[in-house]
Amino acid sequence: MSDKVKNVVVSVLFVGLILCLLLFSVLKKPSEVSKSERRKLAQFPAISYETLENGEFMESFDKYSLDQFVGRDWFRQLKANVLFYIFRQKDNNNIYLADGQVSKYYNQISKDSVVDAGKKFNKLYNQYLKEMNVYYSIIPDKNYFLAAKNGYPSVDYKEFENYLTSTVNSNMKYISLFDSLQESDYYATDIHWRQEKISKVVEKLGNEMGFSVNNNYTLHELSPFYGVYYGQSALPIESEKLYYLTNEAIENARVYELNEKTLTMEESQIYDENDFENIDPYDVFLKGPRPLFVIKNENATTDKELILFRDSFGSSLAPLLVESYRKITIVDLRYIGSPLLKDYVEFNDGQDVLIIYCTDILNDSSLLKVF
Amino acid sequence: MLFSSITFLYYFLIAVLVLYFIVPKKFRNIVLLVSSLFFYYWGEKNYTIIMILMSISGYVHGLLINKFKGTKKAKIALVSSIIVGIGTLGIFKYTDFFISNVNSLLHTDIGLLKLALPIGISFYTFQIISYTIDLYRGKAEVQRNLIDFMTYVTLFPQLIAGPIVRYVDVEKELKDRSCTFEKFAYGVNRFAIGLAKKVLVANVLGEFCKIAKTTSSNSVVFIWAYAIAYALHIYFDFSGYSDMAIGLGRMFGFHFPENFNYPYIAKSITDFWRRWHISLSTWFRDYVYIPLGGNRVPKWKWIRNIFIVWGLTGFWHGAGWTFIAWGLFFAVLLMIEKLFLLDKLEKIPAWIGRVYTLFLVLLSWILFDATTITEAFSRITAMFGGSGLPLITSETLYYLKSYAVVFIIGIIGATPLLKSLVLKIKEKNIGRQIINLLEPIVQVVFILVVTAYLIDGSFNPFLYFRF
C-alpha cells in the first residue's frame, strides 16, 4: 500500500469507525438494565438551563454515553480478554479465575467493621435475646478456599474469626463453619453457596443447636444461571444450573412476609421460580433482599422456634431448617432496623437464635441496622 | 472533557471534525473557538469566563504593546499583561499556599480562599505571556483579530495540558493552514498512539501505584516497583496527552511542538530536561533564565538563575513544598553537572550515565508524588531497607506477576526501540508497504480496545490537569 493510499485509508477508517459506532449507539433502542452487571443503565439526561448550568447534564451525559454504547457487553468482554490473555493480568478489578471458579479477592480485613459487627450482636442480645439459646456463625467467602492456594492476595481468616469471637458476648455460642464447607460448595460464577451442597453446614448447626434433619430432598434445577461474578468478570464463561431443594415440610410450610409498604404480614412462599428472571436469580430463595419472613411448620420434628438473623446465604439455608422448627422468623438486618423488631418479631424465652453472616457483610458491617 | 472519554471521542470530536470540514475556510477558526469553549465549559463551567477574560486581556495588551512599540508605554503594557496573567494564576493556584505558610509562621488564623484551580490555567497563562513577550521583543506580529487570538489561547487540543504552544509556533497557521490526508492520517496515528498510551499503559500503572501506596503488606521490592511504575505512569500519561494534542492539532492543520523525546534514555539530568516536557523547560529558558542573564553572568548570579528557574519550575507544578523541593533537587543536580560532572558523564559508557539519570529521576518522582517531604523521605528510606520492611511479600509477588507485561510494555515503550524498528523496516519498499498495511489495522485495534477499557473502566483524569 502506497503512502497516499494509506493516508486515505487511515483517515476514512478513523472517521468511519467513530461515526458508525456513534450512529449505532444513538439509533439503537436504549437498554433499561444490564443483566450481566446487575444494574440499571443511565438514560439520556434531561436538558434544561438548570442541568446545563449546574453541570448535572454533562455528568449524566458522560454516564449515558458509557452505558448506552452499542455492544457494551461485547466491549466489556473485549477488555476482560485483553486484560487476562494479552496483558496477562491476574485479576480484573479484583475478579479472578481459579480452579474453574470466579471470585473477587480482598486483602484487608476491616478490623473496625468486624469488631463493630460483634458489638451489634451484643446490642441485639441485650435488647431482645437474653434467656434464649443464641448461636452465631461466620460463612466464609469462597476466597477462603481459593485465594491463597492459587497465589491471590488473601486475608487471615483466623484473625477474622478472632476479631468477632473476642468481641461477642460469651452468652452467645460460636459455631465455626470453616471446616464444613469446601470450594465446590459454592457456585462457580456466584458469591453464594449451593443449597444442595450445604448438608454438612446444616449437620454442624444441628449438632450444636440440637436438631437433626432428614436429608431426603427433591432436587429442582433452573438454568441458565449466571452468577454475580459472571457479569463482573465479563469473560465468556459457561452458565450454570441453579438448584433448590424441597421436601414435604418445605412444601407444606406456611410462609408470611412483611410487606414493607403496608407493614403487615402477607402470605408468601419459600421459592418462587419467577424470581429466577430477576437481576439476581438467587432471589429464587426467599425472594431475595427482604426484611422479614415467618415460616410455620405445624408438622415440625420439634416444638422449637428459631429466629434467624441472616443475609442472602441464609435465604437458602433457612428452608433446610423448616422440618426441625415449628416456627422460623427470618430477619435481614440490612433491611429492617433493630428498634422495629419488637413490633414484628415474637421474642420468647427458650427460643433458638442463630446469627449467621458471610465474611463480606461482617467486613462491611455498617450495612447492619442495629441501633 | 477528557480526551480519553467516550463523550469526547464519539460525540465531541466527530461533531467538530464534520463541522470543521464542511464550513468554508474563513469560518474554521470560529468553529474551533466555539467548540473549544464548549469543550472547556463541559468540564469547567464556572471558570470558562476566567479563560475568556484572560484571552481578551492578552489580546488587548497585545494591541497596546503594538501601538506603543518602542516606547516606555509598551513596556508598561507588557508588565501589565504579565501581572494580569501571573496575578490570576497566583490567586487561584498559590493564595492558599501562601496563607497557610503565613499562618504557620506567624501563628495567625487567616482564612483560606479554597478556590478550585481552573483547569489548564497554568498552560494558557504561559501561552498568553509568550505572546505578549514575543510581541514586545518583535518576534511576533500583533494579532488584530480577536477570534483568531482566542482560537489560539483556547484551542482545545492543547488547552488543558499542553504542550505549551507559543504564539509564534502557530502564528501563520492561525491565518492560513492546509488540511491534507497526509496531515490528517498523521494526526490520527499520533492521537491513537496517545490514547493507547494513556488508557492501556498509564492508567493501568496508575492502578499499580495506588495499590502499592495503600497496601498493608508493603516490602522493599514493592516500593521500588512503585517508583518505577510511577515513573512510567507519569511519562505515559503526560506524553500520551501530548501525542493526542499534537495529533488532534495536525488533524486541524496545526503543527504543535514536540513535548517529549524519550526522556528515560537520557544520559544525564541535563539531557533529561532536554527531553522531558520540552515546551515548559524551553519556556522557562527563554522567558526567565535568559532574561536573568542565563550563564553569561558571574558565577554566583548564574547559580542564582538556576535556582530561580528550577524553584519556579517546581512551583509551577503545584503549590506545595514537595514541588518546590522537587524543582530545587533538579537545580542542585543541574548545577553539579554543569560545574564538573557533565564532562565526566560524556566520557564514561552511556549505560552508566543512563543508570545514574534514571536513579535520580526515580527519586525525584517519589518526591513529586508525595504529599509531604517527610512522606517522600520515608519512602526513599524504605527503598533502601531503612524502615524494617521485608524484602518481598507474597502480595508484592502477586502484583508484580499481575502487572509484569504492562511493566515490560511500558519499559520498551519508553525507549525508541519500536520507533527505530519501524523506521528500519520502512527503509525497504516492501517493509514500507507492510507497515502501511499494518498502520490502519493497529489504529483500529487501539481504538476498539481503548473504547473497551473506557466502557469498562472508571474515571481516570490526566495527571497534568492539576497543574
Q: What is the pLDDT of residues B270-307, one digit of tens each?
A: 999 999 999 999 999 999 999 999 888 898 899 999 99
φ, ψ (nearest 5 deg) of residue A101: -110, 150
CB atoms closer than 10 angstroms to residue B54: 24
Catalytically annotated residue among B61, B233, B277, B317? B317
| pLDDT recorded at residue B463 | 47
Query: Which of A11, A87, A151 lies closest to B184 in CB terms?
Result: A11
Chain A environment of B186 (Cβ under 8 Å): 7
Query: Which of A11, A53, A65 lies closest to B10 in CB terms?
Result: A65
| pLDDT recorded at residue A219 | 96
CB A323 within 8 A of CB A369: no
> Considering only A175-179, A255-259, B41-45, which range has the smallest mean pLDDT?
B41-45
- Tell me whether residues B452 and A78 touch, CB distance under 8 A: yes
φ, ψ (nearest 5 deg) of residue A329: -105, 125
| pLDDT recorded at residue B461 | 42
- Tell me whether residues B436 and A1 touch, CB distance under 8 A: yes
- Compute the distance between CA of residue B279 and CA of residue B283 in angstroms, rounded to an integer: 6
Torsion angle of C-alpha atoms A205, A209, A213, A217, degrees rounded to 10: -40
| pLDDT recorded at residue A301 | 87
- Tell me whether residues A152 and B401 touch, CB distance under 8 A: no
Q: How many structural domains comprise chain A?
A: 2
Q: Each residue of A43-59: pLDDT tens digit?
A: 999 889 888 888 889 99
- Compute the distance between CA of residue B464 and CA of residue B162 in angstroms, rounded to an integer: 9
Do A159 and A29 lie in one domain? The reply is no
3-state SS assignment for residue A308: strand
Do A262 and A314 lie in one domain? The reply is yes
| pLDDT recorded at residue B15 | 95
Q: Distances in Å between the alpha carbon of A146 and those of A97, A107, A262, B13? A: 9, 13, 44, 46
- Tell me whether residues B443 and A10 touch, CB distance under 8 A: yes
Q: Within an 8 Å CB–CB cutoff, is residue B216 touching chain A? A: yes
| pLDDT recorded at residue A3 | 85
Cell output for A6: 494509506
Do A16 and A109 lie in one domain? The reply is no
Chain A environment of B116 (Cβ under 8 Å): none
Q: Each residue of A122-152: pLDDT tens digit?
A: 999 999 999 899 999 999 999 999 999 999 9
The dihedral through the CA atoms of B201, B205, B206, B211 has a sign that is positive
Contacting residues for A302 by C-beta, under 8 A, at least 6 apart: A211, A324, A325, A326
CB atoms closer than 10 angstroms to residue B207: 20
- Tell me whether residues A17 and B457 touch, CB distance under 8 A: no
Give residue A292's Cα distance to chain centre.
17
Chain A environment of B439 (Cβ under 8 Å): 6, 10
- Compute the distance between CA of residue B402 and CA of residue B215 in angstroms, rounded to an integer: 15
Question: Mind telling me how many Å the CA of A118 is from chain B's nearest CA?
Answer: 23
Do A61 and A107 lie in one domain? The reply is no
Torsion angle of C-alpha atoms B400, B401, B402, B406, degrees rounded to 10: 70
- Tell me whether residues A3 and B7 touch, CB distance under 8 A: no
Q: Each residue of B174-207: pLDDT tens digit?
A: 998 988 999 999 999 999 999 999 999 999 999 9
- Chains A and B: how many Cβ contacts under 8 Å? 134
Q: Each residue of A233-250: pLDDT tens digit?
A: 888 788 999 999 999 999
Chain B environment of A58 (Cβ under 8 Å): 42-43, 45
Do A107 and A63 lie in one domain? The reply is no
Question: Mind telling me how many Å the CA of A62 is from chain B's nearest CA?
Answer: 6
| pLDDT recorded at residue A166 | 96
Planar angle of CA B108, B111, B116, nearest 5 degrees: 140
Residue A92 maps to a domain: no
Q: Each residue of B216-245: pLDDT tens digit?
A: 889 999 999 999 999 999 999 999 999 999
- Tell me whether residues B10 and A53 touch, CB distance under 8 A: no
Residue A90 maps to a domain: no
pLDDT greater at residue A175 or residue B318: A175
What part of B 388-407 touches A (C-beta under 8 Å)?
394-395, 397-398, 401-406
Query: Which of A14, A76, A82 lies closest to B443 in CB terms?
Result: A14
| pLDDT recorded at residue B97 | 92
Q: Each residue of B122-160: pLDDT tens digit?
A: 899 999 999 999 999 999 999 999 999 999 999 999 887
Q: Distances in Å between the alpha carbon of A21 and those of A25, A27, A68? A: 6, 10, 11
Task: For residue A116, name the pLDDT band (cuts at 50, 70, 90).
Answer: very high
CB A199 within 8 A of CB A45: no
The CB-side HSE value for A162 (13 A sphere, CA atoms) comes to 6
Q: Within an 8 Å CB–CB cutoff, is residue A62 touching chain B? A: yes
Strand partners, B4: none
The dihedral through the CA atoms of B163, B166, B170, B175 has a sign that is positive
- Tell me whether residues A6 and B456 touch, CB distance under 8 A: no
Question: Mind telling me how many Å the CA of B153 is from chain A's nearest CA?
Answer: 23
Chain B environment of A151 (Cβ under 8 Å): 394, 397-398, 401
Of B168, B163, B92, give the one whose Cα is nearest residue B123. Answer: B163
CB B415 within 8 A of CB A27: no
- Tell me whether residues B43 and A19 touch, CB distance under 8 A: no
Region B70-95 average pLDDT: 93
- Burial call A329-361: b when 16+ CB within 10 Å, e when fewer: bbbbbbebebebbeebbebeeebbbbbbbbbbb
Q: Within an 8 Å CB–CB cutoff, is residue A20 touching chain B? A: no
Do A185 and A242 lie in one domain? The reply is yes
Question: Mind telling me how many Å the CA of A92 is from chain B's nearest CA?
Answer: 10
Task: For residue A230, name the pLDDT band (cuts at 50, 70, 90).
Answer: confident
Q: Is the pLDDT of residue A215 over 60?
A: yes
N residues, chain B: 467
| pLDDT recorded at residue B147 | 94
What part of A 87-126 touches B (C-beta under 8 Å)?
87-91, 107-108
Task: For residue B459, name the pLDDT band (cuts at 50, 70, 90).
Answer: very low
Site from B456, B458, B459 to mutate, A interface, most A CB atoms within 10 angstroms:
B456
CB atoms closer than 10 angstroms to residue A144: 22
The DSSP output letter for A9 is H
In which residue are the cell numbers 492521537 written? Answer: B191
Q: Range of A63's domain?
A: 3-72
Q: Each residue of B372-423: pLDDT tens digit?
A: 999 999 999 999 988 889 999 989 999 999 999 999 999 999 999 999 999 9
Relative to beta strand A133-139, strand A352-358 is parallel
- Tell me whether residues A11 and B188 touch, CB distance under 8 A: yes
Q: Each residue of A4-16: pLDDT tens digit?
A: 899 999 999 999 9
- Compute the distance between CA of residue B317 and CA of residue B325 in angstroms, rounded to an integer: 11
Query: Which of A3, A21, A72 lies closest to B436 in CB terms?
Result: A3
φ, ψ (nearest 5 deg) of residue A54: -90, 0
Relative to beta strand A101-104, strand A95-98 is antiparallel
Q: Within an 8 Å CB–CB cutoff, is residue A146 touching chain B? A: no
Do A294 and A226 lie in one domain? The reply is yes
Q: Within an 8 Å CB–CB cutoff, is residue B42 touching chain A? A: yes
The DSSP output letter for A87 is S
Task: Give yes or no: B317 in active site.
Answer: yes
Percentage of residues of chain A with pLDDT beyond 90: 78
Task: For residue B261, name the pLDDT band (cuts at 50, 70, 90).
Answer: very high
3-state SS assignment for residue A267: strand
- Tell me whether residues B406 and A1 touch, CB distance under 8 A: no
| pLDDT recorded at residue B382 | 93
- How confident is the prediction for chain B on average, in pLDDT? 92
Question: Mind telling me how many Å the CA of B187 is from chain A's nearest CA?
Answer: 9
CB B405 within 8 A of CB A87: yes
3-state SS assignment for residue A368: coil
- Compute the distance between CA of residue B206 and CA of residue B194 in angstroms, rounded to an integer: 16
Do A336 and A257 lie in one domain? The reply is yes
Residue A14 maps to a domain: yes
Chain B environment of A86 (Cβ under 8 Å): 405
Region A273-291 average pLDDT: 92
> Considering only A46-55, A202-211, A320-329, B144-153, which range has the smallest mean pLDDT?
A46-55
- Tell me whether residues A62 and B440 touch, CB distance under 8 A: no
Chain B environment of A82 (Cβ under 8 Å): 449, 452-453
Query: Which of B5, B182, B395 lies closest to A153 in CB terms?
Result: B395
Q: Distances in Å between the alpha carbon of B253 and those of A19, A177, B174, B181? A: 21, 69, 9, 10
Q: Each residue of B20-34: pLDDT tens digit?
A: 999 999 999 999 999
Region A316-329 average pLDDT: 95
- Tell me whether residues A91 and B401 touch, CB distance under 8 A: no
Q: Within an 8 Å CB–CB cutoff, is residue B411 touching chain A? A: no
Region B62-69 average pLDDT: 94
| pLDDT recorded at residue B49 | 92
Relative to beta strand A173-176, strand A305-310 is unpaired
Question: Mind telling me how many Å the CA of A170 is from chain B's nearest CA?
Answer: 31
Q: Is the pLDDT of residue B458 over 90?
A: no
Query: Which of A6, A79, A87 lies closest to B406 in CB terms?
Result: A87
In which residue are the cell numbers 482545545 written? Answer: B156
Q: Distances in Å between the alpha carbon of A67 and those of A42, A73, A198, B456? A: 6, 10, 38, 9
Q: Distances in Å between the alpha carbon of A263 and those of A268, A291, A369? A: 14, 11, 18
| pLDDT recorded at residue A93 | 82
| pLDDT recorded at residue B466 | 45
Chain A environment of B406 (Cβ under 8 Å): 87, 89
Taking chain B, what is the end-to-end CA distance rounded to the nearest angstrom?
16
- Tell me whether residues B452 and A69 touch, CB distance under 8 A: no
- Compute the distance between CA of residue A297 and CA of residue B60 in angstroms, rounded to an integer: 87
The dihedral through the CA atoms of B251, B254, B255, B260 has a sign that is negative
Query: Which of B217, B439, B451 lies closest to A75 in CB terms?
Result: B451
Do A13 and A56 lie in one domain? The reply is yes
Task: For residue B460, name the pLDDT band (cuts at 50, 70, 90).
Answer: very low
Cell output for A11: 483517515
Q: Within an 8 Å CB–CB cutoff, is residue B443 touching chain A? A: yes
Say whether the ipTM exceeds 0.95.
Answer: no
Q: What secondary structure, in 3-state letters, does chain B show?
A: CCCCCHHHHHHHHHHHHHHHHHCCHHHHHHHHHHHHHHHHHHHCHHHHHHHHHHHHHHHHHHHHHHHCCCCHHHHHHHHHHHHHHHHHHHHHHHHHHHHHHHHHHHCCCCCCCCCCCCCCHHHHHHHHHHHHHHHHCCCCCCCCCHHHHHHHHHCHHHHCCCCCCCHHHHHHHHHCCCCCHHHHHHHHHHHHHHHHHHHHHHHHHHHHHHHHHHCCCCCHHHHHHHHHHHHHHHHHHHHHHHHHHHHHHHHCCCCCCCCCCCHHHCCCHHHHHHHCCHHHHHHHHHHHHCCCCCCCCCHHHHHHHHHHHHHHHHHHHCCCHHHHHHHHHHHHHHHHHHHHHHHHHHHCCHHHHHHHHHHHHHHHHHHHHCCCHHHHHHHHHHHCCCCCCCCCCHHHHHHHHHHHHHHHHHHHHCCCHHHHHHHHHHCCHHHHHHHHHHHHHHHHHHHHHHHHHHHHCCCCCCHHHHC
